A and B are shown apart, each in its own frame.
Chain A
Amino acid sequence: MKVLVPVKRVLDANVAVRVKADGSGVDLANLKMSMNPFDEIAVEEAIKLKEAGIAAEIVAVSIGPAQAQDTLRTALAMGADSAILVKTDETIEPLAVAKILKSIVDQQAPDLVIMGKQAIDDDSNQTAQMLAALLGWPQATFASKVVIADGKASVTREVDGGLETLELDLPAVISTDLRLNVPRYASLPNVMKAKKKPLEEIDAASLGISLAPTLRVISTARPPERKPGVMVGSVAELVDKLRNEARII
């Protein structure tokens, strides 16, 4: 079985976000970029399937600038077999990302696509679902457990109100939630080995897909600040404030 894992290069989760003063966006200059945390979980899950003898081959794919090679090398160092960079310097919307991924799926013919449920920059939570729809494949979003057997995927999902288990015919698209696994760190020898693994580059413009954004970003602003609070010295003072100042209890 072949597994395709899309990965995105994003601002590292531990870096403080700075909104540009002119409202034109978020300042990413010289800041640490990393693989989207949900995508790390997707890579880990694919490797687990390979270690269990279920997956034979893992292909990582990223859409982005030349620096997204680093993200792909991380996936290779974790255990992916080969990588594809669909190169573009433009900001690509989730719909166009899904279309590009569809063309990669058409070419690679994986049995399973595992990807993050959302990217922590744009927080859109839609690419996996869009890809599944464009392919006419079934989907299981927000996976916290994946079992593959007999050409089917049994996926437990984190949903409002608890957990839900679905059975999907393969091929299928699965999106990962936080509790699916704990991603491994790439060991130094594996980082070295990853440098020799195949990384193919494709020019996004060559795919014949419209990459022009269809949502116009009017402004990007800092959220309003909360007014400063106070420290209280005791439980009694807290209760008094809640009753008589905030009048909330």
Chain B
Amino acid sequence: MSILVLAEHDNSALSPATARTVAAALAIGGTIDVLVAGADCGAVADAAARLDGVARVRVADDAAFAHQLAEPVSELVVHLAGDYGHILAPATTTGKSVLPRVAALLDVMQVSDITAVKGPKAFERPVYAGAALQTVEATADTVVVTVRISAFDAVAETGAAPIEPVAFTPAAPKARFVSREAAASEGPELANARIVVSGGRALGSQEQFNAIIKPLADKLGAAIGASRAAVDSGYAPNDWQVGQTGKVVAPDLYVAVGISGAIQHLAGMKNAKVIVAIDKDPDAPIFKLADYGLVGDLFELVPELTESL
């Protein structure tokens, strides 16, 4: 049985999401190929070749894949699909855009956002914002899966797989890339950070969010997250949203500041190893989940915490 893993990258660097997706492929078992679709993406292919468990890296290096738009990349994957029993991608915004197209073109269902491998074709996946865990088994010959990256540990990088080019020209595009606006980010990447500090509606403004949350995150070497309310109010960029419909993280330490703990937020962080909550409402649902809860005014407590670290 062969497995194709679609690499997550920006043409210059391989995202750690790929090493985590390869880990899911290893749990399924089989010969694992990684597909790098991009433009001038040689360094990415080199990095993918170092991932443990990878038998071969296939590289489609073509201007048509420069922005990894869903239409050309899904055509490419479908073109290669005959060689594989499983097709995997990380459940990133790119993977989520590309893989359902692949599934539809192959006339199979996609198994979305798996959190565990239960058998060659059986997977666990959260539904209802993680309020329930479903185990499903695919019955089609080709199994198309997106992988929740926070649920798998990255494979190591000691391999040396061969790299082979793939020549494929997709149809003329009906969707074109116009521009990209990167969210301001220093510090570690949210999806892969060991520590995350998140702020909620209580921060009240972008200025206060930056003045309160950022120094604590800097002190801890943490990535910054936010609730939907904080993002909707413009205190934090959309890319920082943690939750059912934002990023799902499972860091060693998650610090929730002024976040009440709606189920849609919990869906994105409840698998953190240690959860700290700081909120002035002792009845806030976040405290039911927190390992350590501290009740009080965040505008006093958080600077004091930052100071004492």
Contact = CB atoms under 8 A, between A and B. Distances in A.
Interface of A: 11, 13, 16-17, 19, 26, 38, 93-95, 98, 117-118, 120-134, 137-142, 144, 154, 157-169, 172, 177-179, 214-223, 226, 229-232, 234-236, 238-239, 241-242, 246, 248-249
Interface residues of B, number: 90
Given A226-B270, A232-B292, A178 B176 contact: no
Given A19-B132, A133-B104, A223-B133, A230 B293 contact: yes
Contacts of A221: 132-135
Given A161-B183, A215-B136, A231 B295 contact: yes
B66 interface: no
Given A19-B132, A95-B108, A132 B101 contact: yes
A167 B132 contact: no
A26 B128 contact: yes
A239 B139 contact: no
Nearest to B171: A136
A133 B132 contact: no
A162 B134 contact: no
Contact of B112 (A123, A165, A167, A248): A123
B175 A164 contact: no
A130 B103 contact: yes
Contact of A166 (B103, B175, B228, B245): B175
B133 A231 contact: no
Contacts, number: 261
Most buried by B among A133, A166, A177, A222: A133
Given A95-B104, A139-B97, A218 B127 contact: no
Does more than half of chain A's interface fall in helix, strand or loop, or is it mixed? Answer: mixed
A1 to B, nearest CB: 17
Contact of B253 (A126, A138, A249): A249
Given A160-B191, A241-B292, A249-B220, A166 B176 contact: yes
Most buried by B among A11, A126, A137, A154: A126
Nearest to B219: A249
Contacts of B231: 179
A215 B112 contact: no
B101 A133 contact: yes
Interface string B30-72: 0000000000000000000000000000000000000101110
A139 B71 contact: yes
Contacts of A130: 100-101, 103-104, 110
A125 B69 contact: no
Interface stretch (B18-26, B159-167, B202-210, B232-240): B232-240
A226 B177 CA distance: 43
Contacts of A172: 174-175
Contacts of A131: 104
Given A229-B292, A239-B309, A164 B177 contact: yes
A165 B180 CA distance: 6
* Closest A-B pairs by Cβ, 4 of them: A126-B100, A129-B100, A17-B131, A138-B175
A213 to B, nearest CB: 8
Does more than half of chain B's interface fall in helix, strand or loop, or is it mixed? Answer: mixed
B301 interface: yes
A55 B244 CA distance: 31
Given A120-B128, A159-B93, A231 B294 contact: yes
Contacts of B308: 235-236, 239
Interface in B108-153: 108-113, 118, 122, 125-140
B186 interface: no
A140 B231 CA distance: 21
Interface in B255-300: 263-264, 270, 273-276, 282, 287, 289-295
Interface string B173-191: 1111111111101000001
A160 B240 CA distance: 9
B252 interface: yes
Interface in B186-231: 191, 195, 220, 228, 231
Contacts of A216: 136-139
A223 B275 contact: no
Contacts of B93: 141-142, 157-160
Nearest to A37: B245
B139 A162 contact: no
A75 to B, nearest CB: 21
Contacts of A236: 308
A168 B111 contact: no
B174 A138 contact: yes
A123 B176 CA distance: 28
A234 B301 CA distance: 8
